Amino acid sequence: MERTLVLIKPEGVQRHLVGKIIQRFEDASLKIIGMKQVWADKEFAKKHYTEDIAERRGEKVREMLLDYITEGPVIAICLEGVDAIENVRKIVGGTEPRNSPPGTIRGDFAHVSFAYADKNNLPVKNLIHASSDETDAKREVALWFSEKELHSYKSIQDLFM
């Protein structure tokens, strides 16, 4: 069993896509073990999008991303399941909506390219964040949720695992 963090970014909340997005995780039998709405400030957002982003994508991308993620409240969700990290990334799609196939969240609800975003000094608006590996998932779940906010319970899916 793994736990992973999902953030429906402010864009997803403002476009009223929360229900549709959560439905996809429930449909795949992933269990919601924590969920809340949070309006993060820049300081908090920097703990989520650490220096690692600047190293991988550049300082400018990190700055734009910090604005994008703090422009309104997000929905933070902790999901649990078998290989949850990889499975959630599969449902979410790739970083670039243009290359995310239909059926993925980023492919179905967005379409922009890296090239378009970079040319127009915009972040890649891809609606949703999902932890990328075990190390990030542990760190991110602990950042957004206290242990008290995470729940252990039986759900119908436990019968069909």
Provide the annotated active-site residues.
129
Note whether 29 binds ligand CDP by CB under 6 A: no
Q: How far apart are CA 108 and CA 98, in angstroms?
A: 10
Give the x-and-dash track for 2-21 against ligand CDP (CB under 6 A): --------------------
64 touches which of ligand CDP, Mg ion, none (CB within 5 to 8 A by kind)? ligand CDP
Element (H, E) at 33: strand 31-38
Minimal CB distance residue for Mg ion: 132
Please name every residue paired with 3 in a beta bridge, in sequence order, or none if there are none.
Answer: 80
Q: Of residues 65, 77, 78, 110, which one binds ligand CDP by CB under 6 A?
A: 65
Note whether 48 binds ligand CDP by CB under 6 A: no
Note whether 74 binds ligand CDP by CB under 6 A: no
Contact present, 118 and 89 (Cβ < 8 Å): no
CA distances from 144 to 55, 63, 130, 154 (A): 23, 20, 13, 23
Coil, strand or helix: which one is 114?
A: helix
Q: Of residues 33, 100, 129, 145, which one binds ligand CDP by CB under 6 A?
A: 129
In the complex with ligand CDP, the residue whose CB is nearer, 30 or 88, is 88
Note whether 107 binds ligand CDP by CB under 6 A: no
CA distances from 130 to 9, 154, 160 (A): 10, 24, 25
Q: Of residues 13, 40, 126, 137, which one binds ligand CDP by CB under 6 A?
A: 126
